[in-house]
Amino acid sequence: MKAALIVLDGLADRPQGALGGRTPLQAAATPNLDLLASAGACGQMYPVAPGICPSSEQAHWRMLGYGPHEFPGRASVEALGAGFNITGDEVAFRINLATTMVDEGERYVQIAPAYLPEEQAARVANSLAAYRGESFETRLLHIGGPFMVLVLSPGASAMVTDSDPLFYRMPIPRIVPLDGAGEAAARTAAELERFSSWASGVLADHPVNAGRDSEGQPAIDHVLVKWASTRPAAPGFSEEWGFRGVSVASGIFYGGLARLLGMEFHDIAEQDPGEDLYCKLRDAREALDGGFDFAFVHSKAADEASHTGRPARKVRTIEELDLAMTAVADSFAGDPEVFTIITCDHTSPSGGTDEVIHSGESVPVLALGRNVRVDSVCSFDEVCVAAGSLGTIRGDDIMPLVLDFTDRARFGLSRLHPSDRPYR
């Protein structure tokens, strides 16, 4: 049997007062997801663990079965997706351009990331690439828009804090070594602080900012540093799980993740949320028919709607995504040789709070296929699925379940291969 893992990023939510105490998923009209729920096995999943507020990359790493392996960090995976390589003695840091303000001696973020036309972003990146480190060799990689990766080597440490406060009305913190990290981390933190100060000076006199000022736009005057990362390294997906995989998603992180795991990457991005998901599902089905036996499908639309702070907008987005799920009902659910999981990677509260980005509640999960025990759940939302036959699982459980439901799981303690593989 073949398998598909469909991740609707940020679909889960908290009860919202604007929706009468319902979540957007409960408030939305989702006839297709509800129909699929009634035909499958439902449950609730903690992507990492109860109460843990995961980032998308943490959750995907676990759902794709790599929990036992150390995640290298998002910056190096994004660099990989943009076509760059991070070598064994290098440490990579994500750099975001920002607009800031200073109040009573503290610097605060006003706009981050500070988007600007690609041509202008390239000019800024080219200027910042002139930086020369004091303690380390440096190179700066422009990975698109206001995003860059600063690479330090040799002897740099990833054991340092971020300067991105994530939340507004919070001062930008200094970069310091983690507790007990040692001298290399102290020198790395000092180098990153030096780069940040130098970059502010470059930006203050940059022609791009002169042009922005003449157009009444705020100056891009600071860089934020985060996501310290080491060289990306992990067993290939085929080696780890026995599937020939394809990733159907968009963006450099997902491209980098696919490249890291040895999966083929199909970069599909449509502006309309429903059309985007429908095109990705159609592509995944064609890939399964064309020789792949595992398809990872990712839609970012629900998460992006959450971050607008408007629950009603998220409801509309979910309804558009549900319409696209006709592709699952038509071409996945009815195929006895395909096992399908539909879930999301984290809860994304849509109430507009400045205190929460993602939260640590469970998310709904749905399994479809000839081997699943169809339960009595007939509504796909955060609460109803908890009564389903899958019970409560974690992200680490997804791939073992995929092996089981596709009849690929190794029996007991059988040893038919020198590697300790979970599949037969």
Which stretches of 118-226 are DSSP H helices? Answer: 118-128, 183-204, 207-214
Measured distance CA(6)–CA(345) in Å, rounded: 10
Identify the burial level of 379 via C-beta atoms within 10 angstroms of its C-beta, where 0-12 means exposed, 13-18 middle and 19 or more buried. Answer: middle
* Whether 203 and 300 share a structural domain: no
For residue 119, give every residue at least 6 positions away whose Cβ sits within 8 Å of its Cβ, in sequence order, or none: none
92 shares a domain with 157: yes
One domain for residues 258 and 357: yes
Say if 381 falls within a structural domain.
yes
CA 358 to chain centre: 12
Q: Considering the chain, what percentage of its residues have pLDDT values greater than 90?
A: 90
Q: Are residues 87 and 222 in the same domain?
A: yes
Which amino acid makes up residue 144? Answer: G
| Beta bridge partners of residue 209, listed in sequence order | none
Q: Give pLDDT, residue 189.
A: 98
Within a domain: residue 414? no
Asked if residue 417 has pLDDT above 90, the reply is no
Whether 6 maps to a domain, the answer reads yes
Both 303 and 165 in a single domain?
Answer: no
Q: What is the pLDDT of residue 416?
A: 77
Q: Is residue 416 part of a domain?
A: no
Confidence of residue 92 (pLDDT cuts 50, 70, 90): very high
Q: Are 401 and 343 in contact (CB under 8 A)?
A: no
Write the pLDDT tens digit of every residue in 274-307: 999 999 999 999 999 999 999 999 999 999 999 9
Name the percent of the chain lying above pLDDT 70: 100
| Domain end point (choices 185, 213, 229) | 229
Instruction: Give the confidence band of 380 by pLDDT, cuts at 50, 70, 90.
Output: very high
Asked if residue 411 is part of any domain, the answer here is: no
Question: What range defines the domain where residue 286 resides?
Answer: 2-69+234-405
Task: Judge if 327 and 400 occupy the same domain.
Answer: yes
* Residue 352 pLDDT > 90: no
Rounded to two decimals, the pTM is: 0.94
Residue 242 and residue 358 share a domain: yes
Phi-psi region of 196 (alpha: psi -120 to 50; beta: other; left: phi over 0): alpha
Give the up-direction half-sphere exposure of residue 175: CA atoms within 13 A in the CB hemisphere. Answer: 27
| DSSP letter assigned to residue 188 | H
Average pLDDT score over residue span 333-350: 96
d(CA 145, CA 137): 24
For β-strands 264-267 and 245-249, DSSP reports them as: parallel
Among residues 232, 231, 56, 222, the alpha carbon closest in space to that of 146 is found at: 222
Q: Looking at this protein, which amino acid is placed at residue 163? A: S
Statement to judge: residues 282 and 362 lie in one domain: yes
pLDDT average, residue stretch 36-51: 97
pLDDT tens figures, 114-154: 999 999 999 999 999 999 999 999 999 999 999 999 999 99
pLDDT over threshold 90, residue 32: yes
Give the range among 85-89, 158-162, 398-402 with minimum mean pLDDT. Answer: 85-89
Per-residue model confidence as pLDDT tens digits over 241-280: 999 999 999 999 999 999 999 999 999 999 999 999 999 9
Identify the bridge partners of residue 366 per DSSP, sorted by sequence position.
42, 342
pLDDT of residue 245: 98
Say yes or no: 154 and 288 in one domain: no
Domain CATH code at residue 386: 3.40.720.10
Q: Please check whether residues 298 and 269 belong to one and the same domain.
A: yes
Please check whether residue 102 lies inside any domain of the structure.
yes
Residue 322 lies in a domain: yes
* 359: number of Cβ within 10 Å: 17
Q: For residue 417, is it within any domain?
A: no
Q: What's the CA dihedral at 276, 279, 285, 289 to 10 degrees?
A: -140
Cα Rg of the chain, angstroms? 23
| 96/200 same-domain check | yes
What's the pLDDT band for 209 if we cut at 50, 70, 90?
A: very high
Q: Where are the alpha helices (DSSP H) in 290-397?
A: 301-306, 311-324, 326-331
What domain count does the chain have? Answer: 2
Statement to judge: residues 260 and 398 lie in one domain: yes
Q: What pLDDT is recorded for position 294?
A: 98
Residue finishing a domain among 229, 263, 286: 229
Q: Which of 198, 229, 260 is the last residue of a domain?
A: 229
Average pLDDT, the chain: 95
Sign of the alpha-carbon dihedral angle for 34, 35, 36, 42: positive
Given a contact cutoff of 8 angstroms between Cβ atoms, the answer to whether 122 and 116 are in contact is no
